[in-house]
Structure 1
Amino acid sequence: MKFLASPAVTVAAALLLINGAEGTQSERSRAVAHFSKRHPTYRAATRAHSSNTSDYRFFNNRTKSHLVESLPDVHFDLGEMYSGSIPIDDSNNGSRSLFYIFQPKIGEPSDDLTVYLNGGPGCSSEQGFFQENGRFTWQPGTYAPVINEYSWVNLTNMLWVDQPVGTGYSVGNVTATNEDEIAAEFLNFFRKFQDLYGIKNFRIFITGESYAGRYVPYISSAMLDKNDTTRFNLSGALLYDACIGQWDYIQAELPAYPFVKQHASLFNFNQSYMNELETTYEECGYKAYFDEYFAFPPSGIQPPKYMNYSECDIYNMIYYEAYNPNPCFNPYRVIDECPLLWDVLGWPTDLAYEPAPSTYFNRADVKKALHAPLDVEWELCSTDLVFAGGDSDPGPEQQGDDSPNPTEGVLPRVIEATNRVLIANGDWDYLIITNGTLLAIQNMTWNGQLGFQSAPATPIDIKMPDLQWNEIFEGQEGYGGLDGPQGVMGVQHYERGLMWAETYQSGHKQPQDQGRVSYRHLQWLLGQVETL
C-alpha cells in the first residue's frame, strides 16, 4: 500500500502529469465509450438478462432439469446457465460421469464453444468458473461474488468440466493410466453434452491451465482423430502456465535459481543462501544447460536429463526456504504475503485454509442448486490420485500418467492442424516458470522447424480501460480516470501457428490475476484480433 500524505494534493499532481485532470477524465471517458461501442456485451449485457426461459437458446425439455435458476449468496440474475452430470460409459447408469457447468454467450448468439479445464491433476474446474473467467467471480478475501466484467462469456459459449473421473463432482472408478484414455472419456462426455444441447457444427476451442497443459493437447488431438467437423471442429487451443514438456527438470528445476535471482526482493533470502543456490545451480549442470539451449534460434535438440533429487533438487530447496521469510509464501503467485485470505474454495495457496465458513462447493444447498451429487465430498484438488497407475509410476509429479510429453507429438499436431494455439505464462508463477516453458517450446518441432527462430520481444499493449473497479474510482472525487488502460502488460511472439505470451503481474491463474490480458488472449484465439 502507498502512503498518501494528502490524497487531494497527490491525486491533483498525478492528474496534472497526465495532460491535466480534465483532459485525463475526458480521455478515459472516450476510451470507455469506444470500448463499449466495439464490445456492447460489457456492463449492460452482464446485468440485463432475461429470466424468461423462452429467451434461452439452449433450453428444452431435456435440458430444463439442468437449468440453474439461482445460487446461494449470488444475489443477481444468473441468466442462462446449466450444470449437472453426464455419464461417460455407454451404460448411461451414471456410475462414471463428468460434471459440467455451461454458460452460453451473453448478447448475440455464437456458434463457438470454448472448454476450460483446470489442472492438478485432479483440480476442479469450478475454480476456473468461480474465480477466473466465469460470468461472476468470488475472489479470496472478498465479501460476496460480483459480476466479472472480463468474463469469457462475453465472447463465447463457455463449458467448464470436472475431469478426469475423481475430480470435483465427477464420480466413478478411476481407470485411466494415460492421457489417451482421459481424452477418450472426455470425448464420450462431450458427444453426449452436444446431443443434450443440440450443438452441431460449432467451432470448438479447448483451453486450460497448469496440468491441463497435458489434457488440452491430448483431447484436441483426439478430436482431430475423429475427422468429424460436425461434432469436433477443433479450431484452436490455449494453454496457461502449462505442463507441456519435461516438467521436473526443464520447467521447474532448471529455471528455479534464475527466477529467484530475478525476484530477489520477493524471496528475501540472505546472501549466504543465495550463494549456496548459485553453487548448486552451477555444479548440478543447470547453468551450462540453460546457457546452451535457451537460445533463439535453438542451438539443437535438448538431451533428456534425469533428476538427482538427493543433491540437486534446487526447486524444493527454494520452495521450503521461502516459508521462513514469508510464512504465507504462495508458489502460484510469489508476490503474496500474510495474512492468508479466506477463500470460498478453501485453498488460496499451497496451504489448505478453511476457517469458520465452509467451502462453497461442499455446501448442501450449493450442490442442490447445481444438480451435483449430494454425497460427494467436494475438494478443490483431489487428495486421491486420478490416474490408476499409482504414485510410483512415471509422469509429472509421479501421478501415474505415463503419456509422452505434449511437446513430443500431440501439441505440434494441434498447432499444425489449427495454426491457432496460444501458450502463455505468468511472470509471478513459481510452479511453472516462464523461461522453463519457453525452453520447452525451444525443444519442440512444428511446421517444419525447431522452436522459435527469434526471441520474443513485441509488447502486449492493453488499451482496454478498467471496467471491474471503475465504479469505485468514479465514485470518489479526484480519483476518476486513474484506472485507465493498462499499457504494456507483457511480451508476445508468433511463429508458424503458435502464439507465445509472457504476462506481467500475473501468477499461475492468469484469468484471475489479469482479466484484461486474458480477455485479449481469448480474442486472439477466436480470431477476432491478429495480435495481442
Structure 2
Amino acid sequence: MRLLAVFATLLAVAAASGRLMTMQEINERRLEAVKRWQTSGSQNVKSGGVQNITFTNPKASEFYVEGKSLPLVDFDVGPSWAGLLPISNSPNETRKLFFWFFPPGPQGSLDDLIFWTNGGPGCSSLAGLLQENGPFTWSWGQAKPTVNQHSWTNLSSVLWVEQPVGTGFSQGIPDAQNEDDIAAQVVGFMQQFLEVFSELKGKKLYLSGESYAGTYVPYIANYIYENPSRLDLSLQGIWISDPLISWYVVQQQIPTADFVKKHASLFSFNQTYMAHLDEMAATCNYTGYMDKYVTYPPKGLLPLPGDSTNFAQGCDIWTDIHNNALIINPSFNIYRIWDTYSLPWDVLGFLGTQSSIYYNLTDVKEAIHAPVDTEWIECTLTHVFPNEDSSSPPALTVLPSVIEKNQRTVIVHGLADFIITADGTRIAIQKSVRNGLQGFQTPIADDSFIVDGVGAYGSMHSERGLTYCEVALGGHMLPEFAPVASFQIMQYLMGFRDTP
C-alpha cells in the first residue's frame, strides 16, 4: 500500500474542520459506528448481556460455564458452555475435541452460528477466543481482560473448537493423514455437539478461521457440501484470513523481496544486504513475478518459479530475510511488522513473555471443564499430522467449488503480515479457476475498503462469489489487530450489510 494511504489510515482527515483527528477521536468514531449498526435493524433484542437461550438436553448442564466467576475476570461475560466431546458416537472413541460456545449478545442473531478455528497446524482456538473475536479479550500487553466491544457474539452464536486432535485441551492420539480426515473428524464432532445442543440444529452456519485454517476451512466446507445429510446445519459461507491456500513457495517465497522493499524503513537493511536480496531473487526466478504474471485478467497459467512445488535449494529467501531482520531487531515480529520494540507481555505465553499461562491455571481449567492434568500450549509441540498433511492446497482443489456453492466467501489479509504476505494470497487467487474463469478479471482498486467511521482502510474486490479484502496495518491475527474492520467484514459475510 502507498505510504500516503498509511498516513491516511493512521490519522484520518476530519472533513468538517480540515484538521487531523486524534487517535481518541478515531476510536470514538469506531465505537459509534458499531453502536449505530447495533441499534439499526437487528432483531431478537433482549435485555441483559446475552439473549435467552435454553438447552433441553440434561447433558448440556454438564458443560455450563458461569460467566460471573471466571478466574481473573472482574466482570460478567455471560453464560457459556465448554468441555470435551468425542468425534464419533462410538463407545470406544477416545478422540475428543474441546469447545467453548457462547450464545449471541443482545443484538446478535439467533438464526446463525459462527464456527471458528485457529491454524498452526495445532494452534488453539481458545487463543482466538481470548485475543481476537471473543466476548472478553486479554490481548498482548493488557494487564487484565476487558470487554471486547467487537466480539463476534454481537453478530450471532459463536463456537470455538480446538482441532485437530492433539491441539490445546483436545484428547486422543492424532491420526489424521490429510484434510479429508480433519473434515470428517470436525463434522463428527459437530454431530455430537448438536445432539447435546439440539436447539442449534437447522441454524445458518459460517465457517471461519485464520492462517493454516485457510486449508482446514475449505476442506471442511467441501466435506459438508459433499455429505449434506451428515450435519443438520445450513452452510452459508466461509471466512479465511491471512490464509494458507497455496504452496508455501507461492505465498511466502515469491513476494517476499518485494515486501521488504515496500517496507524498507521497517526492515532497515543496508545496501549490501539489499543487493544480496536482489541477486537471490533473480537467481530463484522471483524477480518481477507480480508484474509479469499477476495481471487482471490473468494472461494464462501462473507458473511456479522452479521445477517443483517447493523452493529450490538456496531459494529460501523468506528465512534468509527473517534471520537477518532478527540481527537488526531481536524483537522483529513476523505477525505484524509494525511492532518494532520489545515484544509485549502475553497472558497466553505465545510470545514467550509469560510463565503463568491463563489456561493452565487450575481454577480456569475447572471453570471451563477442561482436563486439569493437560498442559495447555497455544501451539502444540505434537504433530497433529503424524506423517504431514498429504492434501494439496485448497486453492488448487476444493476452494473453487466451495466458492461456487457458498452464498458468500471472504478472504481477508492483513498488510502488515510477514509470515504469509498479501501479495502471496493475490498470486494464489489469480492462479485459481472458478466458475469457468481464472482469478479476478478486473483489478483490485487501491483504498477501496471503507470502514464505517474511519474511512479508507485498505483495498477490496468482489467477483464471482469471492470477496477479497486487504486491511491496512492488520497483522496475521486479523481480528486482534483490526477488530473494527474484521467485525464489519463478518457482517458482510453474514448478509447484515451489502458491502464489506
TM norm structure 2: 0.89
Match of 1:184 in 2: 184
Q: In structure 2, what is the Cα distance between the partners aligned to 1:520 and 1:503?
A: 12
Distance 1:173 1:451, change over 3 A: same
Distance 1:32 1:174, change over 3 A: closer
Match of 1:214 in 2: 215
Distance 1:27 1:243, change over 3 A: closer
* Paired amino acid for 1:205: Y
Q: 2:64 matched to 1:61?
A: no
Q: 8 Å contact 1:214–1:405 — kept in the other structure?
A: yes
Match of 1:223 in 2: 224
Mapping of residues 40-79 of structure 1, within 5 Å: 40=39, 48-49=48-49, 55-58=52-55, 60-69=57-66, 70-79=69-78
Q: 2:438 matched to 1:450?
A: yes
Q: 8 Å contact 1:187–1:223 — kept in the other structure?
A: yes
Mapping of residues 299-318 of structure 1, within 5 Å: 299-304=299-304, 305=306, 306=308, 307-318=310-321
Alpha-carbon RMSD across the aligned residues, in angstroms, is 2.8
Distance 1:21 1:204, change over 3 A: closer
* Paired amino acid for 1:373: P
Q: Secondary structure at the match of 1:159?
A: strand
Match of 2:415 in 1: 427
* Paired amino acid for 1:354: Q
Match of 1:473 in 2: none
Distance 1:455 1:46, change over 3 A: farther
Distance 1:441 1:363, change over 3 A: same
Report how far residue 293 of structure 1 moved: 1.4
Per-residue CA deviations over 1:48-84 (Å, capped at 9, x if unaligned) read 427xx9x433475221111111311111112121110
Q: 2:382 aligns with which of 354, 373, 384?
A: 384
Match of 2:362 in 1: 364
Per-residue CA deviations over 1:362-386 (Å, capped at 9, x if unaligned) read 1111111110011111100011110
Report how far residue 140 of structure 1 moved: 1.3
Q: 8 Å contact 2:338–2:416 — kept in the other structure?
A: yes
Q: In structure 2, what is the Cα distance between the partners aligned to 1:90 and 1:236?
A: 27
Q: In structure 1, what is the Cα distance between the partners aligned to 2:490 and 2:463?
A: 18
Structure 1 runs (4+) deviating above 4 angstroms are 14-17, 19-22, 25-35
Q: Is there any run of 5+ residues in structure 2 with no aligned partner, and where?
A: 1-10
Q: 1:508 aligns with which of 476, 488, 495?
A: 476
Q: 2:457 matched to 1:489?
A: yes
Q: In structure 1, what is the Cα distance between the partners aligned to 2:257 and 2:263?
A: 10
Q: 8 Å contact 2:224–2:231 — kept in the other structure?
A: no
Report how far residue 343 of structure 1 moved: 0.5
Question: Which structure would you say has the larger Rg?
Answer: 1
* Paired amino acid for 2:156: T
Mapping of residues 78-477 of structure 1, within 5 Å: 78-92=77-91, 95-107=94-106, 109-198=109-198, 199-228=200-229, 231-246=232-247, 248-304=248-304, 305=306, 306=308, 307-348=310-351, 352-355=352-355, 358-389=356-387, 400-457=388-445, 459-463=448-452
Q: 8 Å contact 1:112–1:204 — kept in the other structure?
A: yes
Q: 8 Å contact 1:46–1:147 — kept in the other structure?
A: no
Q: Is there any run of 5+ residues in structure 1 with no aligned partner, and where?
A: 1-10, 390-399, 464-484
Distance 1:61 1:501, change over 3 A: same
Q: 8 Å contact 2:82–2:100 — kept in the other structure?
A: yes
Q: How many residues align?
A: 477
Q: In structure 2, what is the Cα distance between the partners aligned to 1:172 and 1:143?
A: 34
